[in-house]
Amino acid sequence: MISESVLERVRYQTLYPDAAAFIRDNGTMTESQMTGLRVLFASEQDVNEIRHGYIKKRIERSQEAGRPEQQQFWVALDRKLGELQKQAASLLGGEQKDDVQRFIEAFIVLLCAENRYRQKVAVETDGQDLQQKQEDSDAQRTDHSSSLRGGPRFRDSTPPGGRGRRDRGAN
């Protein structure tokens, strides 16, 4: 079984920066999607089942909804989880299901903290605002209608919430 100290070192050196980089590069998910993911891991559902079930469904739905950015997010997350599974197996010297699960769950916890943070805090990197704010579809509609009632106007592709921020929305 993976020792606490090894897991802590990996969280510190690898998983924390990886989670930050993932959200920076791929944008954010909605609060409800994040909760869904957390619940699945908290209920100890196998990571392969989550990849082939929940995440696959998110990919399909975003494709159907014609949201390539959102689709790319979930494809990237699926790929990242695959990489982490391999990394965990290699670190642990073989496939140990429980340890791999703990390893990935540790990543998901950090990913969700980063996700929530980036929904609210703009990131200045190379002069670019990389924040990609998302709202649940209900919240989106509410915000949008309030902006039409006299709030600031946005171009069609720009959601309420910030200039140049991309919205992945909810599926």
Judged by the rule CB under 8 A, the positions of this chain that interact with another protein are 4-5, 8-9, 11-13, 15-16, 31, 109-110, 112-121
Q: Least CB distance from residue 65 to another protein, whole Å? A: 24
Question: For 88, how many CA atoms within 13 A lie in the half-sphere containing its CB?
Answer: 26
Query: Least separation, in Å, of the C-beta of 111 and another protein?
Result: 10
* Min dist. Cβ of residue 91 to another protein (A): 13
Q: How far is the CB of 45 from another protein (least distance, A)?
A: 22
Q: Report the nearest approach of another protein to the CB of residue 119 (Å).
A: 6
Contacts of 4 (CB under 8 A, 6+ apart): none
- Give the bridge partners for 125, in sequence order: 128
Quick one: tokens of 102?
A: 């703990």
Nearer to another protein, 76 or 109 (CB): 109
Query: Looking at beta carbons only, is 66 or 121 nearer to another protein?
Result: 121
Coil vs helix vs strand at 124: strand
Choose between 118 and 168: whose C-beta lies nearer to another protein.
Answer: 118
* 120/163 with CB nearer another protein: 120
Query: Would you state the structure tokens that stand for residue 8, as one six-digit string?
Result: 């802590």
Indicate the DSSP class of residue 121.
S
- The answer to whether 19 and 125 are in contact (CB under 8 A) is no
CB atoms within 10 A of CB 164: 13
Nearer to another protein, 109 or 130 (CB): 109
Do 54 and 37 form a contact (C-beta atoms < 8 A)?
yes
